[in-house]
């Protein structure tokens, strides 16, 4: 019985629970005697609160509390930076003063005996302000770019002399790009139910990082982390918006303490455009120099992104530019644009998706200038090593991705001339772009219990926002223990489970997976240790080195006879579960020896209606080199999801701000456009065979981000191929193409 749970296209172990309503999301953990909280947001984008007329509202039906900076408790707000909090600056202190820093900032919270009563009171609450006009447009002359303080991701880098090489290059491209602000818009809204029991707080809260939410709320309230429990077994989409703990979680806890009852707080869709982060709008300039046969001689990538005035949100906007291409002269520069806005946060492919949109668009422009096929141009500039770090890649399959993708897409039959391909009156465009994302591996831990019935229970704090973590971790445990999948029960989403890193940055499979594997090996070691020491065991007296696990049985090495099973061993040891925990982390020495990234190549076909300017994605093929694929079915699903996100970025998503007050004017699903089923054509994801022994013990690279990264530039490049018009802003809209 060889299990081989890893690598098989198992369906989601939690699929049935999800489609039958058995999976419970944060807002569904209703508590006895629960009250309802509604947040009141500022209606000015900058200024000061002058007056809050709480009195009238407090008399409205069902209202139990009206909490604002006038009566909110002064909270400790002890220093705390989780891995997903900006390193520089200080988080918003909610209801602690009269200052308004951005539109929609919470200024009060109403608690009532029903959602309806709370909403009515929130709508009636009169707040007056001394308002000023906020600066919310990165192009506003009042915006002063600043270099991010300390931190590798934001640092300017240079090798050779990129400016001189650009000036001397026989062929050049220089272009500027403007990418819109985006909001994550997951299906599940942010929600928290807070319940105090004495000085202990339980939060059923939507989170991609439960152990950080525990630590953050403990720091805000100045209490021991052990007194805070965060529970979140299911996340209905996150894409990064639930990595940080935003003010509404604090508000729910304040409210629950004030009224002495559990309180439920669910943000409205509109409020999710105010205080829960966004992908920053970016302005970029790319300058490329090349020889006439298409060798890059200069690559300059300058970019800037929005941030708030109180925190520096830094993302990896320029970081791939140093290693995607072989080029002797490279210069990158990254600046932040502090404005009167809430702090942005990580959104799927954070930095890479925006930065590679600009560079991959410029490379495409260069391919037309040179008259070289864009795939061939990339082949000519494929580096042997990471030239920025001067390190070999742990593995890099970008050219294999191009070969596989081109073959599946049928790239060879492309007519390279713009406007040359048609379908009736529609212009057809084929475009391509590269994708890359780092392979992170952060310290993680897990715990395994073997039960007398021969099954295993596995626990790690973690989250599963959709990639299928429940399933993939079950597979890792089943494989390591040689158990069938249905003998493994994996649990996650509790802050009292063994700590794991943020469920973001495509690092869950690598980090938590490695920890689960380590914990399974640890529990086997524990069981073996007990077996050889147990007089009643047939292995009594054997040295620990002379036994081994074979297909779930502890056997003597060299002895073909199968030894006792887990069930027999646990039962023999008295029947109580045998438990072990373990941690996993990247070997620091290996981290210094290799540059570790996932790569991908994305091919798309669009049609453009020349009369209406309407762009439609017709098909897409993504090919990825992402190490070992634990579950091809889930991996495909995740890649398709990422491609849909990239489609939104390319053609639809844009949070528009009113310059008068910073109000997101399209803060609802009617006007903030995301792809719906009818927008999504046939999408294919393929994986190249890639064995990478360096990235982590499982050899996995992560898929969540890389799958979004190349999509937008591939679509923008296809729009150029279809129309001959280069649009250098996202999303590409009808008005950009009315003249084609």
Residues annotated as part of the active site? 705
Q: How do the residues of the chain divide into helix, strand and coil, expressed in percent and rounded to 5?
A: 30, 25, 45
b (16+ CB within 10 A) / e for 123-151: eebebebebeebbbbbeeeebeeeebeee
**646 is a site residue for ligand MOS (CB under 6 A):** no
**504 is a site residue for ligand MOS (CB under 6 A):** yes
**280 is a site residue for ligand MOS (CB under 6 A):** no
State both tokens at 420: 């040359």
Nearer to ligand MOS, 240 or 697 (CB): 240
Nearer to ligand MOS, 253 or 650 (CB): 650
**278 is a site residue for ligand MOS (CB under 6 A):** no
C-beta of residue 281 within 8 angstroms of C-beta of residue 179: yes
**208 is a site residue for ligand MOS (CB under 6 A):** yes
Nearer to ligand MOS, 465 or 647 (CB): 465
State both tokens at 299: 């690559």
* Helix boundaries (H) for 59-152: 115-124
Output the smallest distance, CB 208 to ligand MOS, in A.
Answer: 6
Binder to ligand MOS among 273, 346, 594, 687 (CB under 6 A)? 346
The Cα diameter of the chain in Å comes to 86
Distance between CA atoms of residues 245 and 258, nearest Å: 20
Q: What is the CA radius of gyration of the chain?
A: 27
b (16+ CB within 10 A) / e for 509-525: bbbbbbbbbbbbbbbbe
Task: Please choose, out of 250-258, 345-353, 570-578, 581-589, the segment that lies near ligand MOS by the rule CB under 6 A.
Answer: 345-353
Nearer to ligand MOS, 12 or 279 (CB): 279
What is the pattern of x (binds ligand MOS, CB under 6 A) and - over residues 68-87?
Answer: --------------------
Output the smallest distance, CB 682 to ligand MOS, in A.
Answer: 26
Nearer to ligand MOS, 243 or 580 (CB): 243
Output the smallest distance, CB 279 to ligand MOS, in A.
Answer: 9
Q: Which of residues 227-246 bind ligand MOS (CB under 6 A)?
A: 238-240, 243
Task: Please choose, out of 297-305, 342-350, 468-476, 720-728, the segment that lies near ligand MOS by the rule CB under 6 A.
Answer: 342-350
Output the smallest distance, CB 597 to ligand MOS, in A.
Answer: 15
What is the pattern of x (binds ligand MOS, CB under 6 A) and - over residues 17-56?
Answer: ----------------------------------------
Task: Please choose, out of 347-355, 397-405, 408-416, 471-479, the segment that lies near ligand MOS by the rule CB under 6 A.
Answer: 347-355
Q: How far is CA 252 from CA 42, 71, 116, 248, in A?
A: 18, 15, 17, 6
CB atoms within 10 A of CB 546: 13
Secondary structure E strands in 570-719: 578-584, 597-608, 615-625, 682-687
The torsion angle over the Cα atoms of residues 135, 190, 507 and 638, rounded to 10 degrees, is -100
Q: How far is CA 376 from CA 293, 368, 625, 715, in A?
A: 11, 12, 19, 18
Place of tokens 């299911």: 234
Binder to ligand MOS among 82, 186, 247, 350 (CB under 6 A)? 350
C-beta of residue 346 within 8 angstroms of C-beta of residue 240: yes
**347 is a site residue for ligand MOS (CB under 6 A):** yes
Nearer to ligand MOS, 243 or 657 (CB): 243
359, HSE (Cβ side, Cα atoms, 13 Å):
31
Binder to ligand MOS among 206, 348, 487, 701 (CB under 6 A)? 348
Nearest in space to 667 (alpha carbons), one of 45, 36, 104, 47: 104
Nearer to ligand MOS, 274 or 348 (CB): 348
Sequence-ordered list of residues with C-beta below 8 angstroms from that of 282, at least 6 positions apart, any chain = 177, 178, 179, 303, 304, 305, 306, 317, 354, 355, 358
> With CB under 6 A, what is the number of residues at the site for ligand MOS?
11
Nearer to ligand MOS, 196 or 346 (CB): 346
Output the smallest distance, CB 730 to ligand MOS, in A.
Answer: 18
Binder to ligand MOS among 41, 47, 148, 505 (CB under 6 A)? 505
Nearer to ligand MOS, 239 or 430 (CB): 239
Q: Which of residues 518-577 bind ligand MOS (CB under 6 A)?
A: none
Output the smallest distance, CB 511 to ligand MOS, in A.
Answer: 12
Helix (H, G, I), strand (E, B) or coil at 592: helix
Task: Please choose, out of 50-58, 68-76, 227-235, 341-349, the segment that lies near ligand MOS by the rule CB under 6 A.
Answer: 341-349
Task: Please choose, out of 87-95, 196-204, 343-351, 545-553, the segment that lies near ligand MOS by the rule CB under 6 A.
Answer: 343-351
C-beta of residue 651 within 8 angstroms of C-beta of residue 732: yes
Q: What is the DSSP code string of 253-311?
A: HHHHHHHTS-EEEE--TTGGGTSS--BPPEEEEEEEEE-TTS-EEEEEEEEEEEEESSE
Output the smallest distance, CB 506 to ligand MOS, in A.
Answer: 6
Paired strand residues for 89: 311
Nearer to ligand MOS, 94 or 235 (CB): 235
Helix (H, G, I), strand (E, B) or coil at 326: coil
**710 is a site residue for ligand MOS (CB under 6 A):** no
DSSP assignment, residue 58?
A: H
Output the smallest distance, CB 504 to ligand MOS, in A.
Answer: 3
Residues within the interface to ligand MOS (CB under 6 A): 208, 238-240, 243, 346-348, 350, 504-505
């Amino acid at each position: 019985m060889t299990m081989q749970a890893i690598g098989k296209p198992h369906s989601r172990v939690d699929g049935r629970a999800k489609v039958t309503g058995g999976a419970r999301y944060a807002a569904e953990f209703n508590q006895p005697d629960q009250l309802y909280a509604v947040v009141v947001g500022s209606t000015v984008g900058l200024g000061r609160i002058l007056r809050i007329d709480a009195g009238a509202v407090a008399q409205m039906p069902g209202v139990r509390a009206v909490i604002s900076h006038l009566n909110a408790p002064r909270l400790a707000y002890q220093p705390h930076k989780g891995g997903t909090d900006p390193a520089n600056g200080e988080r918003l202190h909610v209801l602690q003063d009269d200052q308004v820093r951005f539109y929609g900032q919470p200024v009060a919270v109403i608690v009532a005996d029903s959602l309806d009563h709370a909403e009515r009171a929130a709508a009636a609450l009169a707040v007056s302000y001394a308002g000023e006009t906020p600066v919310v447009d990165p192009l506003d002359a009042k915006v002063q770019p600043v270099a991010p303080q300390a931190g590798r991701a934001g640092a300017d880098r240079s090798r050779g002399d990129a400016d001189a090489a650009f000036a001397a290059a026989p062929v050049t491209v220089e272009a500027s790009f403007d990418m819109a602000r985006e909001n994550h818009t997951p299906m599940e809204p942010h929600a928290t139910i807070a319940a105090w029991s004495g000085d202990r707080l339980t939060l059923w809260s939507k989170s991609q990082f439960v152990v950080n939410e525990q630590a953050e709320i403990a720091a805000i309230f100045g209490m021991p982390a052990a007194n805070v429990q965060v529970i979140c077994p299911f996340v209905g989409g996150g894409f990064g918006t639930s990595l940080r703990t935003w003010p509404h979680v604090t508000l729910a806890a304040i409210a629950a303490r004030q009224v002495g009852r559990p309180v439920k707080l669910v943000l409205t869709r509109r409020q999710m455009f105010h205080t829960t982060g966004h992908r920053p709008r970016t302005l970029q300039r790319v300058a490329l120099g090349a020889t006439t046969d298409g060798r890059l001689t200069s690559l300059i990538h300058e970019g800037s992104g929005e941030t708030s005035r109180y925190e520096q949100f830094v993302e990896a906007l320029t970081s791939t530019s140093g290693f995607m291409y072989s080029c002797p002269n490279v210069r990158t520069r990254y600046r932040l644009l502090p404005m009167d806005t809430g702090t942005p946060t990580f959104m799927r492919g954070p930095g890479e998706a925006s930065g590679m949109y600009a560079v991959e668009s410029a490379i495409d422009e260069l391919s037309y200038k040179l008259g070289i096929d864009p795939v061939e141009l990339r082949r000519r500039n494929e580096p042997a090593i990471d030239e920025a770090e001067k390190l070999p890649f742990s593995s890099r399959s970008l050219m294999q991705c191009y070969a596989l993708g081109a073959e599946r897409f049928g790239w060879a039959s492309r007519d390279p001339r713009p406007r040359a391909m048609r379908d009736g009156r529609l212009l057809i465009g084929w475009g391509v772009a590269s994708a890359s994302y780092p392979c992170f591996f952060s310290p993680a831990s897990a715990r395994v219990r073997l039960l007398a019935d021969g099954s295993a229970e596995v626990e790690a704090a973690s989250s599963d926002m959709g990639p299928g973590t429940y399933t993939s971790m079950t597979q890792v445990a089943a494989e390591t223990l040689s158990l069938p999948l249905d003998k493994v029960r994996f649990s996650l989403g509790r802050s009292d489970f063994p700590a794991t890193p943020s469920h973001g940055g495509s690092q869950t499979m690598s980090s938590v997976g490695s920890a689960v594997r380590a914990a399974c090996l640890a529990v086997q070691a524990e069981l073996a240790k007990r077996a050889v020491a147990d007089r009643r065991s047939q292995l009594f007296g054997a040295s620990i080195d002379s036994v081994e696990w074979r297909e779930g049985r502890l056997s003597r090495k060299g002895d073909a006879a199968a030894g006792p099973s887990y069930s027999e061993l646990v039962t023999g040891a008295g029947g109580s579960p045998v438990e072990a925990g373990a941690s996993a982390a990247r070997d620091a020495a290996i981290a210094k020896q290799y540059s570790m990234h996932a790569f991908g190549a994305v091919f798309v076909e669009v049609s453009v209606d020349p009369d209406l300017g309407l762009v439609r994605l017709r098909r897409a093929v993504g090919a990825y080199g992402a190490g070992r694929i634990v579950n091809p079915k889930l991996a495909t699903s995740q890649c398709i999801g990422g491609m849909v996100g990239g489609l939104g970025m390319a053609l639809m998503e844009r949070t528009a701000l009113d310059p008068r007050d910073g109000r997101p004017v399209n803060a609802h699903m009617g006007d903030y456009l995301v792809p719906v089923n009818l927008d999504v054509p046939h999408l294919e994801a393929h994986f190249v065979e890639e064995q990478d022994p360096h990235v982590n013990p499982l050899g996995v690279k992560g898929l969540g981000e890389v799958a979004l990264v190349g999509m937008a530039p591939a679509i923008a490049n296809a729009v150029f191929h279809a129309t001959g018009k280069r649009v250098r802003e996202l999303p590409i809209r009808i008005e950009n193409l009315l003249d084609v």
